[in-house]
Amino acid sequence: MLSIPEINELKLFLESPKNISIVCHRNPDGDAMGSSLAVQHALEQLGHTITCITPNEHPNFLAWLPKADAAIAFERESEKAIPILENSDLIFTLDFNALHRTGEIMQKTLEQLTVPMIMIDHHQLPDPYAKYTFSDVNYGSTCEMVYDFINALGYNHLINKDVATCIYTGILTDTGGFRFPKTTPETHRCVAELIERGVNNSEIYNLLYDNSSYNRLQLLGRALQNLKILPEYNASYIALSQEDLDTFHYEKGDTEGIVNYGLTIKGVHVTAIFIENKEEGIVKISFRSQGDFDVNQFARTHFNGGGHINAAGGKSFSSLQETINQFIAILAQENN
Contacts with Mn ion by CB under 5 A lie at 31, 95, 142, 174
- In the bound state with Mn ion, the residue whose beta carbon lies nearer, of 95 and 276, is 95
Interface residues for ligand 5GP in 277-296 (CB under 6 A)? 286
Under rule CB under 6 A, residue 306 binds ligand 5GP: yes
Kindly identify the residues of this chain, within the stretch 14-33, that bind ligand 5GP according to CB under 6 A. 25
- Name residues whose C-beta falls within 8 Å of residue 94's C-beta, 6 or more positions apart in sequence: 22, 23, 24, 32, 35, 36, 39, 119, 120, 121, 142, 146
Report what 313 binds from ligand 5GP, Mn ion, none; CB cut-off 5-8 Å by kind.
Answer: ligand 5GP
- The minimum distance between CB 175 and Mn ion, in angstroms, equals 10
C-alpha 173/C-alpha 277 separation (Å) is 24
CB of 307 to ligand 5GP, least distance (A): 3
Mask: binding to ligand 5GP, 80-119, rule CB under 6 A, as x and -? ---------------------x------------------
Closer residue to ligand 5GP, CB minimum distance, 34 or 305: 305
Nearest-approach distance from CB 306 to ligand 5GP, in angstroms: 3
Give yes or no for residue 253 binding ligand 5GP (CB under 6 A).
Answer: no
Side-chain-side CA neighbours of residue 118 (13 Å): 24
d(CA 182, CA 133): 20
Find the binder of ligand 5GP among 85, 239, 268, 312 (CB under 6 A): 312
Comparison of 26 and 41: residue with beta carbon closer to ligand 5GP: 26
Q: Interacting stretch for ligand 5GP, rule CB under 6 A, among 4-12, 52-60, 109-117, 309-317?
A: 309-317
Considering the complex, state which of residue 253 and residue 307 has its C-beta at the smaller distance from ligand 5GP: 307
- Could you tell me whether strands 311-316 and 306-307 are parallel, antiparallel, or unpaired per DSSP bridges? antiparallel
CA-wise closest residue to 103 among 277, 310, 333, 290: 277
Neighbours of 224 (CB within 10 A): 12
CA atoms within 13 A on the CB side of 84: 20
Q: Choose one: 4-12, 106-114, 216-224, 307-315; the region binding ligand 5GP (CB under 6 A).
A: 307-315
β-pair type (228-230, 306-307) = unpaired
Residue type, 85: L
Q: Which is nearer to ligand 5GP, 58 or 101 (CB)?
A: 101
**Please, which residues have CB within 8 angstroms of residue 334's CB and are 6 or more apart in sequence?**
none
Q: In the complex, which residues of this chain contact ligand 5GP (CB under 6 A)? A: 25, 101, 123, 286, 305-308, 311-315
